[in-house]
């Protein structure tokens, strides 16, 4: 048996001397160098006792070594679980307890704090710092630069990515070798990515977009990757003349448009700009095309499914739509109440079926059953509309998810923290339109009878518990929350009331 994901996406690259990762302030790694490093790490993982199917939880800064750890994890047959670097210890603790990994890999500065968490599930703790140093590097050094990937079937798990639920606990989406391999191959083909491409990569790599879409397609094609720690406007503008391809969240594009340095000449050698993870305003699409001559290609996907639809490479990229289903992917729209397919042109819940659709939620068969239909369609929670010629538009999110700067905030998680703060009766957290971040997080808070709450105290409570991107930008103190006849909080009313402030 072969290692399905490794053989499909990576195997052809290991002998190539062409550049892979071109980092700021570090040596460029060729594909051969990179796969040598990944092989050493895979030997290191095996020596540390990692067996096929073991989980590997990683919270570490974006680095070439972190990418190598992902590839090593695939080669060793492990299940890779990258965590947002902004997560606080309590949050990391939940993921570790839920996933029960063999290894927990964190930055040196967090090691002492997180060691008890690792010990609680009998996991070993290793360190990986932003510069690649740490005990993981030590476990890999002196190892052979060739590793025979362990056999893994298409249905075996390759990654576990957590996607917070709207009603409580975060869910681990189980992604198989075939999910990741099929999706990366489909996109590489659709977007015509080749070894002549130079990809600007400024996305985080703990998320499906930066890890599986951007790096997966680049590796499948043998493209070079300009690897940025984060989105630094001037650095990205400097990189544009020597690049051919960029993948980003809408915020990247609004920021680029904010700079007079973004010109047609600067983008003359660019082949393709791709956007996803949150809605790209039609206005941004038009302004970008006017300024640069490039029509941004918007696509749509999610943690559980990878990419589902894409605007065409050759053909009309329609602003405000996310394009057509990828080859092999079926999309249908259903009535959220009845599950029946909606009439053509109507708005319905987006359901997806295909080789990209995940294998269910980790240790949550009930949640999986709720969102997976008997005929294999996954209920995404997004509301959409299909045009006559099959272009999908996302018109809203049934799940009330807030997407701020491309990162997801689930209101319930923030509400739980606020509701536990002294003097708070209840709260509702929602998103309002924001020119820079797409949406901004706002909290409406009702004080307990006879109590007073102030925004500073609420911010302090949230600051202790949650990653920064989840913090409300504004606190609105209100007498009561608007509710419908069924007692549900009407977030649309709140959004409308507090949007214009
Ligand atoms: P995540 O699981 O973090 O990738 O978030 C997935 C969610 O992001 C989807 O369910 C959509 O609500 C949203 N999303 C992703 N891409 C787009 C897009 N192009 N337009 C609108 N929403 C999007």
- Report the 10 Å Cβ neighbour count for 485: 5
State residue 118 phi and psi, 5-degree precision: -65, -45
Q: Show the CA angle centred on residue 70, arms to residues 178 and 364, nearest 5°.
A: 60
Residue 4 has pLDDT above 70, yes or no: yes
Q: Three-state SS across 79-137?
A: EEEECCCCCCHHHHHHHHHHHCCCEEEECHHHHHHHHHHHHHCCCEEEECCCCCCCHHH
Q: Taking the domain 231-397, which CATH number applies?
A: 3.40.50.12780
Q: Which residue's C-alpha comes closest to atom 1 of ligand 1? A: 302
DSSP 324-376: EEPTT-EEEEE-TTT-PBPPTT-EEEEEEESTTS---BTT-HHHHHHHB-TTS
pLDDT digits (tens, 9 = 90+) for 349-390: 999 999 999 999 999 999 999 999 999 999 999 889 999 999
- The predicted pLDDT at position 168 comes to 56
The two domains 4-19+28-189 and 231-397 share their CATH topology (first three levels equal): yes
Calculate the average pLDDT of the chain: 94
Pairing verdict, β 103-106 and 124-127:
parallel
Quote helix, strand, coil % in the chain, to nearest 5.
35, 25, 40
- The predicted pLDDT at position 63 comes to 96
Q: How far is the CA of 278 from the centre of ligand 1 (A)?
A: 5
pLDDT digits (tens, 9 = 90+) for 397-438: 776 778 899 887 878 889 989 999 999 998 999 999 998 899
Q: Which residue's C-alpha comes closest to atom 7 of ligand 1? A: 302
Q: How far is the CA of 392 from the centre of ligand 1 (A)?
A: 13
Residue 337 has pLDDT above 80, yes or no: no
pLDDT digits (tens, 9 = 90+) for 6-17: 999 998 899 999
Q: In the predicted model, what is the mean pLDDT of residues 166-188?
A: 89
Overall fold of domain 401-498: GMP Synthetase; Chain A, domain 3 (3.30.300)
Q: Which residue's C-alpha comes closest to atom 8 of ligand 1? A: 277
Asked if 164 and 413 touch (Cβ cutoff 8 Å), the reply is yes
**d(C-alpha 23, C-alpha 63), whole Å:** 8
Which residue ranges make up each domain of the chain? 4-19+28-189, 231-397, 401-498
Return the minimum-mean-pLDDT range out of 277-281, 306-310, 471-475: 277-281
- The predicted pLDDT at position 104 comes to 98
- The predicted pLDDT at position 401 comes to 77
Residue range 4-19+28-189 in CATH 3.40.50.12780? yes
Rg from Cα positions in the chain: 23
Q: How far is the CA of 249 from the centre of ligand 1 (A)?
A: 10
Q: How far is the CA of 467 from the centre of ligand 1 (A)?
A: 20
pLDDT digits (tens, 9 = 90+) for 31-59: 999 999 999 999 999 999 999 999 999 99
State what percent of residues in the chain have pLDDT above 70: 97
- The predicted pLDDT at position 398 comes to 75
> What's the length of the chain?
501
Residue 228 has pLDDT above 70, yes or no: yes
- The predicted pLDDT at position 486 comes to 40
- The predicted pLDDT at position 492 comes to 84
Q: In the predicted model, what is the mean pLDDT of residues 81-100?
A: 95
Residues with CB under 6 A from ligand 1: 163, 208, 276-279, 298, 300-303, 322, 380, 382, 394, 397, 401, 403, 408
- The predicted pLDDT at position 165 comes to 46
Q: Which residue's C-alpha comes closest to atom 20 of ligand 1? A: 279
Q: How far is the CA of 277 from the centre of ligand 1 (A)?
A: 4
């Amino acid at each position: 048996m072969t290692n399905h994901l490794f053989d499909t996406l990576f195997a052809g690259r290991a002998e190539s001397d062409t550049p892979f990762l071109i980092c700021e302030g570090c040596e460029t790694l060729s594909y051969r160098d990179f796969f040598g490093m990944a092989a050493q790490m895979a030997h290191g993982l095996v020596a540390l006792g990692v067996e096929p199917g073991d989980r590997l939880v990683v919270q570490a800064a974006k680095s070439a070594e972190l990418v190598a750890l992902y590839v090593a994890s695939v080669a060793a047959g492990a299940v890779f679980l990258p965590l947002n670097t902004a997560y606080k210890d309590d949050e990391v603790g939940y993921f570790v307890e839920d996933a029960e990994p063999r290894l927990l890999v964190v930055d040196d500065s967090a090691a002492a704090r997180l060691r008890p968490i690792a010990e609680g599930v009998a996991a070993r703790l290793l360190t990986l710092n932003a510069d690649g140093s740490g005990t993981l590097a030590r476990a890999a050094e002196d190892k052979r630069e060739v590793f025979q990937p362990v056999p893994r079937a298409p249905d075996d798990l390759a990654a576990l990515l957590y996607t917070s639920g709207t009603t409580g606990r975060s869910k681990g989406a189980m992604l198989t070798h075939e999910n990741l391999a099929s999706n990366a191959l489909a996109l590489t083909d659709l977007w015509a990515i080749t070894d002549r491409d130079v990809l600007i990569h400024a996305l985080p790599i703990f998320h499906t977009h930066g890890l599986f879409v951007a790096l997966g397609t680049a590796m499948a094609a043998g493209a070079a990757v300009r690897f940025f720690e984060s989105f630094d406007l001037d650095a990205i503008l400097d990189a544009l003349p020597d690049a051919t391809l960029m993948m980003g969240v809408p915020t990247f594009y609004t920021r680029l448009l904010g700079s007079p340095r973004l010109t047609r000449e600067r983008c003359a050698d660019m082949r393709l700009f791709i956007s996803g993870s949150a809605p790209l305003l039609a206005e941004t699409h038009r302004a970008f095309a006017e300024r640069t001559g490039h029509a941004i290609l918007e696509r749509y996907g999610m943690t559980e499914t990878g990419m589902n639809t894409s605007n065409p490479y050759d053909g009309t990229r329609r602003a405000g739509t996310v394009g057509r289903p990828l080859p092999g992917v079926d999309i249908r729209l259903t009535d959220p109440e009845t599950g029946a397919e909606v009439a053509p042109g109507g708005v319905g819940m987006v359901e997806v079926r295909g080789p990209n659709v995940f294998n269910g939620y980790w240790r949550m068969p009930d949640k999986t059953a709720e969102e997976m239909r008997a005929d294999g369609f996954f209920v995404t929670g997004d509301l959409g509309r299909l045009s006559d010629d099959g272009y999908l538009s996302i018109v809203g999110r049934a799940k009330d998810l807030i997407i701020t700067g491309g990162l997801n905030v689930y209101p319930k998680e923030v509400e739980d923290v606020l509701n536990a703060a002294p003097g708070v009766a209840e709260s509702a957290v929602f998103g309002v339109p924001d020119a820079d971040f797409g949406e901004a997080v706002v909290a409406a808070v009702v004080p307990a009878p006879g109590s007073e709450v102030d925004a500073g105290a609420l911010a302090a409570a949230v600051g202790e518990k949650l990653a920064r991107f989840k913090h409300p930008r504004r606190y609105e103190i209100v007498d009561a929350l608007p509710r419908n006849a069924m007692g549900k909080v009407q977030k649309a009313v709140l959004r409308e009331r507090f949007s214009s402030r």
